Amino acid sequence: MFELYAMRHAKSSWDFPNLDDHDRPLNKRGVNSAKLICEFFIKKKIKFDLVYCSSSKRTMQTLNILSKKINFKKIIHKKALYHASADEIIHILKQTGNNYNTLLLINHEPSMSELISQICLNEKSDQMQNLKRKFPTAAVAEVNFNFNGWEKLTKIKGKLTSFTTPKDLQASKE
């Protein structure tokens, strides 16, 4: 089985209005949310074969927080992911070798919700409705595929199996 975990970067800081968008760092809430998602991955015993990460500062900082407790086999930073369309992301994912079964993609909105909506086109679940309403910072969508290679990735191929937000994780701790 092939799996994609599509994660939006954690909450960024707006404390420096003159910074270029690409260079905005995480804020304190973002750091805490990324740590919550990291613990979620560890608790679920998810092992990632490959990480694709946008080149922006906030996506790389999100990945860095995860990397402190999770060992990733391979990480690819891609500038092309920054402001990429869903079709451009699909094109990148289709180039992935079939020895990488479980991918983590750390990227931005609206690309993330558009990507999941495209690859899970016929999905009508409550989780999909929540995702379409809002894909919050540090949220993660898990999509499973019933194909034998990433080159087969097209629209209407995936099944959204979970959509987890930091807020969900905080509520479960209370």
Tens digits of per-residue pLDDT, 24-83? 999 999 999 999 999 999 999 999 999 999 999 999 999 999 999 999 999 999 999 999
Q: For the chain, which domains are there?
A: 2-11+24-173 (3.40.50.1240)
Quick one: DSSP state of residue 26? B
Cα–Cα dist 94/149, whole Å: 8
> At residue 143, does pLDDT exceed 80?
yes
Q: What is the pLDDT of residues 75-118, one digit of tens each?
A: 999 999 999 999 999 999 999 999 999 999 999 999 999 999 99
pLDDT category at 137 given cuts 50, 70, 90 is very high
Cα–Cα dist 32/130, whole Å: 22
> Torsions phi, psi of 55, nearest 5?
-85, 0
Cα–Cα dist 112/55, whole Å: 15
Q: Are 164 and 41 in contact (CB under 8 A)?
A: no
Instruction: Give the three-class secondary structure for 106.
Output: strand
> At residue 164, does pLDDT exceed 70?
yes
Write down the pLDDT at residue 3.
Answer: 97
Cα–Cα dist 32/65, whole Å: 9
Cα angle, residue 148 at apex, residues 153 and 140 outer, rounded to 5°: 55
